[in-house]
Amino acid sequence: MSDIKLPIEVQKELKKISKVAGYLWQREWAERNAGNISMNLTSFFDLDEIKQKTKNNTFVPFEFPKGTAGYVLFITGTGCYLRSLVDSIEEASCILYINEDATGYTVIWGGKREGFGPTCELISHSSIHLFNTENNPTHLAIVHTHPLELIVMSHHPLFDNEEELNRQIWMMCPEVRVFVPKGIHCTPYALSSTEALAKVTIEAFKTRNVSLWEKHGATATGEDVEKAWDYLDVANKGAKLLLMSWSAGFKPAGLSDAQLKELEQFT
């Protein structure tokens, strides 16, 4: 397999990915092989050059959404640890090119680990990237991780009342209302690595900034990986403050509805 030379812009994005992966590990949001990261890098590459220089690379059959034909995606590997992205990114992730029929892919960079394959959530990531291309084209990155306090909230009865869950999380801190302005989607449980999970997550991003997968984790998209991380970081801060208040034995006063409304000018 021959790797293609990475554009400077892509190298910069990979550095951001390594940094965010370190954040996720330090937060205890990425136990063992939990979580995955991807980024749509299509705009950074010359597709004719990719096809020419990697024509002898191994082709792997996979049924992608048809609209993703010709995409170039960075994606983490199945069974790989996100913490490995900090100093072994070429082993724990790859950049792949989806063929013109969207019937498979070729790895054009990375995937150095023996037996490497992209994350089992490949169908979810590619589907979300297609949705963003059509509906939110500046959002190139996806981060799925296991934020502790948000996962706890997905086990709470509030999970069944999305509007109230968001109100209570927003009211804990002005920054949560400002920097997660569309709020959190209470995404119903679906089995990992299935099209069903992809579909419910896409539904979430039609209205919200963060998809909180029931009893599983959370996912966000952003212009780059740092921006996607920001949505998750801020949303989890609101959940953590709420849980801390309850643990201390009191109901938080919170921002009033009028104060929350006033903050909308900054969203």
Residue of 121, 175, 214, 264 marked catalytic: 121
**109 in helix, strand or coil?**
strand
CB 119, CB 128: distance < 8 Å: no
Q: Which amino acid is at 117?
A: G
DSSP state of 217: E
**Does the annotation count 49 as an active-site position?**
no
Q: Which amino acid is at 180?
A: V
CA distance 78 to 115: 10
Angle at the Cα of 223 (from 122 to 32), degrees rounded to 5? 45
CA 239 to chain centre: 19
Q: Which residues are catalytic?
A: 121
